[in-house]
């Protein structure tokens, strides 16, 4: 079997409603000639996700301790591809995403982001902002591709972070490597905005950014998130 060029790493925790659709989308949206492998890393699902994933063809399934940073590092360790592509379980990259990543010829980068459903003015406006290269506009929902050797040189995700691990690693990447924003969209669920309120959620995200910039301990960022965000 041809060695995969891209390894897609997806941390999963209780995603029975989305993981099947996402894997089907990834298989349809990628070029089999790129031989992308899909690595699902379960962090202790209790909603039937694990059983669903065990029945899937065309995926690699492993289990690890809970925590996105921990799960993504675990997936990266077994990845065979030269490029790692980290993707949230409720996010759907554009058709041809694998070819777009290869054509970018960059050591790292992400896509732009749009929400579905975009049922408020702010969620409709958000995609316009994600074209700009600012840490305030980066997040794991936009996905992250990175050459495996670059990822290894950085020591992977910082497992002290239960949240904000995606922004933290992008900040480290950009100190030493080129970071490319591909002009196409990952579509992700707006469920957190529906559950928390759009303005309220953006406010709490801004507070977390500020706390992180001021050097607050990762455990305190997680505590703030758990207190204020569903």
What is the token pair recorded at 217?
């301990």
Q: How far, in Å, are 15, 69, 110, 122 from residue 45 at the CA level?
A: 8, 16, 27, 32
72/57 Cα distance (integer angstroms):
21
Provide mean pLDDT across the span 14-21. Answer: 96
Closest CA to 45 of 70, 75, 20, 65: 65
59/207 Cα distance (integer angstroms):
37
**67 or 120, which is more confident?**
67
164/63 Cα distance (integer angstroms):
22
- 219-228 residues labelled b (16+ CB within 10 A) or e (exposed): eebbebbeee
224/226 Cα distance (integer angstroms):
6
pTM of full prediction above 0.85: yes
Per residue in 110-144, pLDDT tens? Answer: 999 999 988 888 889 888 888 888 765 567 689 99
pLDDT the model gives residue 122: 84
């Amino acid at each position: 079997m041809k060695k995969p060029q891209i390894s897609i790493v997806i941390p999963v925790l209780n995603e029975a409603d989305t993981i099947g659709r996402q894997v089907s989308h990834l298989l349809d949206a990628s070029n089999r000639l790129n031989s992308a492998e899909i690595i699902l890393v379960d962090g202790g699902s209790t909603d039937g996700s694990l059983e669903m994933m065990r029945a899937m063809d065309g995926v690699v399934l492993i289990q690890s301790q809970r925590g996105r940073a921990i799960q993504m590092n675990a997936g990266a360790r077994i990845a065979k591809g030269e490029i790692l592509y980290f993707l949230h379980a409720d996010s759907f990259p554009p058709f041809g995403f694998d070819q777009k990543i290869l054509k970018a010829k960059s050591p790292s980068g992400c896509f732009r982001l749009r929400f579905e459903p975009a049922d408020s003015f702010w969620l409709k406006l958000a995609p316009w902002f994600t074209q700009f290269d600012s840490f305030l506009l980066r997040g794991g929902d936009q996905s992250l591709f990175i050459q495996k050797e670059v990822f290894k040189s950085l020591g992977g995700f910082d497992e002290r972070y239960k949240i904000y691990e995606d922004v933290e690693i992008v900040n480290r990447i950009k100190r030493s490597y080129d970071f490319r924003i591909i002009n196409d969209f990952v579509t992700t669920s707006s469920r957190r905005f529906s559950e928390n309120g759009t303005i309220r959620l953006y406010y709490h995200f801004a507070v977390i950014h500020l706390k992180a910039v001021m050097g607050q301990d990762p455990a305190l960022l997680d505590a703030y998130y758990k207190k204020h965000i569903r």
